Amino acid sequence: MVTSNPFPTIEKCPSVGREKHTVVADMDGTLLIGRSSFPYFALVAFEVSGVLRLLFLLLASPLAGLLYYFVSESAGIQVLIFATFVGMKVSDMESVARAVLPKFYSSDLHPESWRVFTSCGKRCVLTANPRIMVEAFLKDLLGVDMVLGTEIGTYKGRATGFVCKPGVLVGKNKADALKKAFGETKPDVGLGDRHTDIPFMAMCK
């Protein structure tokens, strides 16, 4: 998905003979066609807490956009996470992630990424999305072995809206998470779609 050197485009990546290979892929813009996770945050907000929560998220979205493009990708995502999840019951979040989100994610799968991803025997997704939001879809429907995503803080069964250390998994945090999970073992294939994916992709063969 990354078009700048030294990485080839996904269309040039062969998918034959990868049964013993390990693939690590980003989610938005890579496994999924859509590059923005906002529609899915909005869906969670509405399904769990109704119109008022969705309105709160919509009001917070301009700030999130400004931070995303002019400060950092991480800062923008943190605002979306806070507006969407603060005060939500963890059980409600898990329920929507399992019952509602998968059908929407499934309709947005990128065919070329899917071709390469499913050809590999071991599959890992490394994403800035909250793990609790995407794990059910990735493991139950896509057969993903490992999901490394942003962790949301909780207190007495409810989300605080803040992210746990090391923060949102973008850029260096993605690379560090991959290093922690795989150690000195290099995954065979890395799939990403933006410059902040380069650090983790550079760690793959």
Over residues 190-201, mean pLDDT:
94
Residue 5 has what pLDDT?
55
For domain 10-202, the CATH architecture is: 3-Layer(aba) Sandwich (3.40)
Query: For residue 8, what pLDDT band results from cuts at 50, 70 and 90?
Result: confident
Per DSSP bridges, beta strands 189-191 and 22-25 are: parallel
Cα 34 to Cα 15: distance, rounded to the nearest angstrom = 22
pLDDT of residue 3: 42
Domain ranges of the chain: 10-202
Amino acid residing at 106: S
Q: Can you tell me the mean pLDDT for 145-163?
A: 97
Tens digit of each residue's pLDDT (9 = 90 or more) over 44-99: 999 999 999 999 999 999 999 999 999 999 999 999 999 999 999 999 999 999 99
Q: What is the mean pLDDT of residues 161-176?
A: 96
What average pLDDT does this structure show over 130-158?
97
pLDDT at 4 over 80: no
Q: Mean pLDDT of all residues in the chain?
A: 94
Asked whether the predicted pLDDT for residue 102 surpasses 80, the reply is yes
Length of the chain: 205
Cross-strand partners of 154: 159
Percent of the chain with pLDDT over 70: 98
- pTM, 2 dp: 0.92
Spatial contact of 199 and 174, defined as CB atoms under 8 Å apart: yes
Tell me which residue of 152, 181, 129 sits closest to 24, measured CA to CA: 181
Would you state the pLDDT for residue 85?
A: 98
Q: Which pLDDT value is given to residue 199?
A: 94
